[in-house]
Chain A
Amino acid sequence: MKTLEELEKISRGEEEAKKTGKKIISVGMATCGIAAGARPVMNSFANEIRTRGLKNVDLTTMGCIGMCKLEPIVEVYDEDGIKTTYIKMTADKAAEVVRRHIIGGEVCKEYTAE
């Protein structure tokens, strides 16, 4: 069993590792994500990035993070490694996240897990 301090240390370590100077969009592509419609979400991200010619963004996939009923889940890492988790995403919400969060730098609070 890990203590709270240890867990916090792990979490900080992950944030350090994600400090790439780029924004990273990570779409949950496990069985639960795909079944819930992660593919149209990812397509929407890809199209937005392509049509807007965004350079400083990486689009990637991840496995199941254990909240299958909240899928499709998308994690956005900012340049400084801060993570935002968006839940129950749709293609339209994805386009909005690109517009407001990726370009505008504003977290779309109404779509987050918190």
Chain B
Amino acid sequence: MKELSLHIMDVMQNSITAESSRIAISVKTCDNDRLLTITVEDNGYGMDEETLKRATDPFHTSRTTRLVGLGLPMFKEAALLTGGDFVLESEKGKGTVLTAVFVNGSIDRQPLGDLGNVFFLTMLSHQDLELSLVLSSSRGTFYFESKKFAAALERRGDSHMDAAFGAETFINEQAEMIFKDILPEMGGGLRGIEGSCKADKRQAAL
């Protein structure tokens, strides 16, 4: 995993497996933009205390327990490497809240990556899922709800796929605006590893 967006995508798959109907994601900077906090909250079937304890330990993984594996440990590692923190809270039958804190200026902080694409793919493959996103920094706040966004565009006659595609562009534009000069990778259209590869290919094509 080379981008924070991929980690988010990974834990969203966990939420989907846990039969969530709603996933709320927030990416915020605080403490004068020194810290970057990502939270993922779902209303899936959650974990009991025993599972929760093992969830971030890769060595207690058993093949029959599908919720645990390498995904959460890698997310946790990415946060702790920057000097940040990682907290997982869950209640059986209610849902799970994941909070990962990154020290923004750390050399080990992974780029945010193509967040819009994560929403595009998830909106496309799970149409009934309610997704929400909050982006926030000292430059401002952006709030997005997939259902409302898709409904508005579909009323205009767009297909669901066009709506999802519109969401990708919209979210990435907003992310660039809100995190410009705050997350160094923002601006210039170079969003993470895959983003820069895409840019390279585009240049080669020109």
Contact = CB atoms under 8 A, between A and B. Distances in A.
Interface of B is mostly: helix
Contacts, number: 55
Interface residues of B, number: 24
Nearest to A50: B161
Contact of B69 (A30, A39, A59, A60): A30
A27 B122 CA distance: 11
Contact of B1 (A34, A46, A59, A60): A34
B13 A60 contact: no
B117 A39 contact: yes
A87 interface: no
On chain A, which size bracket covers the interface? 20 to 34
A3 B6 CA distance: 40
Nearest to A31: B71
Contact of A39 (B9, B16, B66, B126): B9
A56 interface: no
Contacts of B71: 30-31
Interface stretch (A8-16, A61-69, A95-103): A61-69
A59 B159 CA distance: 14
A94 interface: no
Contact of A50 (B16, B63, B165, B194): B165
Contact of A43 (B66, B121, B126): B121
A61 B161 CA distance: 15
A46 B124 contact: yes
B125 interface: yes
B131 to A, nearest CB: 14
B13 A30 contact: yes
A35 interface: yes
Given A30-B71, A31-B74, A34-B1, A60 B125 contact: yes
A63 B19 CA distance: 12
21 contacts: A30-B69, A31-B69, A31-B74, A32-B70, A34-B6, A35-B6, A39-B121, A40-B194, A42-B121, A43-B117, A46-B124, A46-B161, A49-B161, A50-B161, A50-B162, A50-B165, A59-B124, A61-B13, A61-B121, A61-B122, A61-B126
